[in-house]
Amino acid sequence: MLQQTGYADHNRAVVVSVARFHPGVALTKRPGAERDAKKIHRTLSKLGFKVKLHSDPSSEEIYQIFHEESGRGVKDCFLAVLSSHGEEGCVFGADGKAVRLSHIFTCFKNPTMDRKAKLFLIQACRGGALDDGVQVDGAEDASDSSFTQYLSVPVDTAVMYATAPGYGAIMSPLGSVFLQTFCALLEDEDVRKLELTRLLTRVSHRVAFTFQGKGRHLGGKKEMPCFLTRLTREVFLFESAKDAGISVLIGSENGRMRTPSIS
């Protein structure tokens, strides 16, 4: 597969954000989505990522974006953010049509992205329930869809969702608690040095234990991000702001050492 010149020299990020829907679509405007998109664009750019921002694309345009991005070379890692209204297993384009996440993930099962670290951040509802902050077993009807999504996720990929299956993801005019927390934590140099799964766990902890909804409908409600991983190695995605990339911890008889790439 041919790679476009220049893409393989950078770690790349794609931000797909739907804040406004086409006239006649029965989905409400998402105040705060644009604020999220600008924040994550600024944060990742400072960390050396080449970032593309796509605002209010249709469902077909979203599929096309990821089909094209999956065929472009990348230095060490690829990061994607999808922010829209959603249900379990899908997000919605600006035309109100569903975009199946499994189809997006499957695009990245190709030689170009083989052995490259891939991280997807999904800011979307996965159902209509609201989290009261108690331990639950999860939504009864979400297991089949969740399992299908897992099977579609490529190796060396982590996917983090703003919320658990069956639950809504909270958004305000100030942005989403999930993506705003993710960006805030990346401002801390010590957090940036964490291995990726530890960093994502830190995001989950911060959202779960420091956020509580306010207002008539959301007062006292909580949010609990969750992630799945098919990583086969330890990934350090944001270790250096100057040369953002990944490194791998390799076990050896004399201890552990870091190498500058995933290969």
In three-state secondary structure terms, 252 is strand
| Alpha-carbon dihedral sign for residues 89, 191, 181, 183 | negative
Closest CA to 174 of 34, 78, 25: 34
- Separation between Cα atoms, residue 130 and residue 115, nearest integer Å: 37
User: Which residues are the active-site residues?
Assistant: 85, 125
Per-residue burial over 222-258, b if 16 or more Cβ lie within 10 Å, else e, is bbbbbbebebeebbbbbbeeeebbbbbeeeeeeeeee
Both tokens of residue 126? 């996965």
Beta bridge partners of 51: 13
State the number of CA atoms in the 13 A half-sphere of 40 facing the CB.
31
- Separation between Cα atoms, residue 241 and residue 73, nearest integer Å: 21
SS3 percent helix, strand, coil of the chain, rounded to 5, is 30, 25, 50
